[in-house]
Structure 1
C-alpha cells in the first residue's frame, strides 16, 4: 500500500457529492491520494471539480448505489483505472422520516438498498481484491442511530444497526489479512441528510449539529490508524454509552419525541 504520508494511492469514496462523504474525499485528496468518487446525483461532478484544486486525479461516477447495477458501474470504473484501491470509504447513505406505515415503500426500499445492499456488495467486491493483495483500509459510515430503535426513522436506524454490527464482524474476519475495517459512528451532522429525509419539521431536524468536516476528519484519522470504531463528539459518546444500558422500549419512546413529524414545533 502507498503510505499515507508519502506518494499517491487510490481512494474510493461513495456518497461524496456533499456532506461527510465530500469531506472524507477532501481528507484523502489533501493527503495526496487520487480519487474515484461516486454518488447518485449529478452534483458529484461539481464536487470533483472542487476536489481537483488539491492537485490529484479525480474521477467522478454518477450511479445509483442502491442497486447492484449501480455498484457494478462504479466497480467497472475502478477496474478500468487499472489500479488497486488503497482506501475504500463506503459512506453512501439515505434517510427517511415519518412512521413506517406512512412511508412510500419504494423509498424505504431505497434506504435499505443504499445503506445495506449496495454498501456490502461494494465491500465484497473491493474487499476481496484487498485481501488478495494483503493490504487495504475500509471505512464504513455507521451511526449512533444504530444503537437505538428509531421511532419515525425505523428503517434508517435499523440499517445503521446493521452497518455497525457488520463492520465489527468483518474487522474480526480480516484481522490477520492486512486489511483493516473501521466504522465511523457520527451523531446528527450538518449535512443535507435531514432535508432529504423529510425531517426538517422534527426536533432532531432543528437541533444544532456537528460539523461535517470535523466528523470526517475524525473518521479518516481512525481509518488511517487502523482503529475499529470511533464515535465523533463527546455528546455522541455519552449518548452511545447511555443507549447501551437503556431498555429498547425507553429508547424508542425517547427517539419518537425527537423524530415525530411536527415535533420541532412543540
Structure 2
C-alpha cells in the first residue's frame, strides 16, 4: 500500500518558476494539484507524474472569480488536507501606463492580486483548522521599487509582499507559516509575454535560473521563513541595495531597464533626382 503523501497546490505551474516549484515539491515527496490557463499545463503534469507525484491538473483562468473557484473545487474534491501551497501565478505588462489598455492593466491586478487573496481565503482556514500548513506567495524584488514602465506590475508585487508578511504575523500562533518569495529577474517567458522584448530588461541575458529560485524558495518555505530573497548573488545584492536607495533613484533605474526603445521613424523613399 502506498504511503499517503502530503498534498501541495501550485499555481502558474505550466512554465517558469511555478513549473520548477511544482517539480521541487514532487521531488520532495508531495502529490500535486497544479493550475495554469495554457495548454502547456498538460505537459507539465506528465513530467511531474514521471517524477513520482500523483497530479491533478486544473486548467483555469485565475483572472476570474469562477477560475479560482474551479481550482478550489478540485482541491476540495480530494478530501485531503493541503500541506503546502505556492500562489505563484502572475502576469505583467510593460510600457507607459497612459498608453496601455485598461483591460490589460486590470488583468495584472486580477491575476496577481485578486486571485491570490481569493485563493488564500479559501485555503488558509483549512490549514488553521488542521493546525499546520505552509503558504508561499511569489512577490518580487521589484516590490520595493517604483515601477516606471511597469507601474501596475510593480505595485501588484508590493501588495503581495505586504499581504504575505501581514498574514505571517496574524498566523504566527496557528502552526501555519506564510513566506513571501522575492526573486529577481528570472529566465522565464514572463518578459516576452509582458511585451518587453524591446527593453534592456527583456534583452538581458544574465537572468537567474528558475530552478535555483524554486529550490531556494522551497527551502525557505519549509523552514517557515517570512521572507526570502532568492537567486543569484547579484539579485541578493540588489535586494540589499533597494533597502537603502531612495525611491527616485530606484524609479530612474527601473525606467532605464524597462522603458521601450523609441521606434525609429521610417524615412520616406527618395524620389528620382531632377
TM bracket, shorter-chain basis: over 0.9
- Contact kept in structure 2, 1:142 and 1:160, CA below 8 Å: yes
Of 87, 92, 95, which aligns to 1:95?
A: 92
Counterpart position of 1:229: 227
The count of corresponding residues between Structure 1 and Structure 2 is 259
Q: Where is the helix percentage greater, Structure 1 or Structure 2?
A: 1
Q: Larger C-alpha radius of gyration, 1 or 2? A: 2
Q: After the TM superposition, which segments of 4 or more aligned residues of structure 1 sit over 6 Å from their partners? A: none
Please, which of 39, 54, 70 is the counterpart of residue 73 of structure 1?
A: 70
Superposition TM-score, scaled by structure 2 size:
0.92
Partner of 1:242: 241
For 1:34 and 1:255, the matched residues in 2 are separated by 39
CA RMSD of aligned residues (A): 1.3
Cross-structure match for 1:159:
156
Structure 1 residue 234 displacement after superposition: 2.2
What is the aligned counterpart of 2:178 among 158, 176, 181?
181
Q: 1:246 offset after TM fit, Å?
A: 1.8
Give the unaligned 5+ runs of structure 2: 265-274
* Distance (Å, rounded) in 2 between the aligned partners of 1:37 and 1:105: 29
- Once residues 228 and 175 of structure 2 are traced to their aligned partners in structure 1, the CA distance between those partners, rounded to angstroms, is 20
How far has the Cα of 1:16 moved from its partner? 0.2
Task: State yes or no: 1:169 paired with 2:166.
Answer: yes
Alignment-derived partner of residue 250 in structure 2: 251
Quote the Cα distance in structure 2 between the aligned partners of 1:172 and 1:55. 35
- For normalisation by structure 1, the TM-score amounts to 0.95
- Could you tell me how far 1:70 is from its partner in structure 2? 0.6
Aligned to 2:120: 123
Q: Which residue of 1 is the match for residue 269 of structure 2?
A: none
Residues 7 and 32, structure 1, Cα contact 8 Å, conserved in 2: no
Secondary structure of the structure 1 residue equivalent to 2:244: coil
CA distance in 2, matches of 1:72, 1:172: 26
